[in-house]
Amino acid sequence: MKVLVPLKRVPDPYSRIRLAPDGAAIDTTAIKFEINPFDEIAVEEAVRMKERDASVEIVVVSIGSAECEEQLRKALAIGADRAIRVDCAETLDSLGVAKVLVRVVERESPNLVLMGKQAIDDDNNQAGQMLAALLDWPQATFASKIEFNDGRATVTRETDTGQETLEFPLPAVITTDLRLNEPRYVALPGIIKARTKPLESLTLADLGAQQECRVAVVSMRQPPPRTAGRRVNSVDELIEALRVEKGLLKS
């Protein structure tokens, strides 16, 4: 079984984000980058599959500049077998990412695409669904539990009203949620082994793909500062403040 795990290079969730002077992007000076947390969960789940079945092959792929290789090496250190970087200097929107991944899927012929439900930098939550639609494959999003049996997947997924269980044949696309697992700490032996694992660099032309982006960021702005709160002495005072000062309650 071959598992393809796409991953994205994103700012560390604990980094302080500042905007660039033109307001069209973030200032990446002195910002640490990591694997998108949901994608790291997908890598961890694939490695656990490999630990249960040694025949599983894990291929991680990232679309971006050479800087992405740091995150690909980390995925190799976690336990992936090999990595692919699709060289692309520009930022693609979700559909552009999905179209490039279609070409990678056609090249690699995986049984499963396992990826994070969304990236924490843009929070679009679209690439996995678009990829499944373009491939015409079954899909399950927000997976909190995944099981495989006789070429079929059973996925428990998180919904707004509880949990839903889906069963479908492979190949398929599954996107991961936070409750699926907790990624492991990368130990030194894994980091050393990752240096010798293959990391292939491809261009969009190698895949027969085009650099396509239909959505562009026009501007960004920092959220307004939060106003200071104040303490009230009673429920009546709270209601009066909400009614009179904020105009949130009607008499």
Predicted pLDDT of residue 26: 81
Distance (Å, whole) CA 4 – CA 153: 15
Query: What's the Cα-to-Cα distance from 91 to each of 61, 69, 158, 213, rounded to whole Å?
Result: 16, 16, 29, 8
**Closest by alpha carbon to 101, among 117, 89, 84, 118?**
84
Amino acid (1-letter code) at residue 82: R
pLDDT in tens, 44-63: 999 999 999 999 999 999 99
Distance (Å, whole) CA 75 – CA 39: 10
pLDDT in tens, 80-119: 999 999 999 888 899 999 999 999 999 999 999 999 999 9
Q: Which domains can be identified in the chain, with CATH numbers?
A: 2-225 (3.40.50.620)
Predicted pLDDT of residue 251: 63
Give me the percent of the chain exceeding a pLDDT of 70. Answer: 99
Predicted pLDDT of residue 199: 95
Distance (Å, whole) CA 130 – CA 204: 19
pLDDT in tens, 59-83: 999 999 999 999 999 999 999 999 9
What sign for the dihedral angle of Cα 198, 35, 163, 172? Answer: negative
Distance (Å, whole) CA 40 – CA 116: 8
Biggest CA pair distance of the chain: 71
- Compute the CA torsion angle 209, 215, 221, 223 (nearest 10 deg): -100
User: Contact, 7 vs 35, CB < 8 A?
Assistant: yes
pLDDT-derived band at 187, boundaries 50, 70, 90:
confident
pLDDT in tens, 141-164: 999 999 999 999 999 998 888 899
Tell me the backbone φ, ψ of residue 237, rounded to 5 degrees.
-65, -35
Token pair recorded at residue 128: 């996995």
Reported pTM:
0.86
Q: How far is CA 179 from the centre of its chain?
A: 14
Distance (Å, whole) CA 166 – CA 172: 12
Q: Mean pLDDT over all residues of the chain?
A: 91
Three-state DSSP state, 2: strand
Bridge partners (DSSP) of residue 199 are 83
Q: How far is CA 172 from the centre of its chain?
A: 17
Give, for 207, the enclosing helix (H) or strand (E).
helix 204-207
Helix ranges, 79-164 (H): 94-108, 127-135
**Arithmetic mean of pLDDT, 229-240:** 87
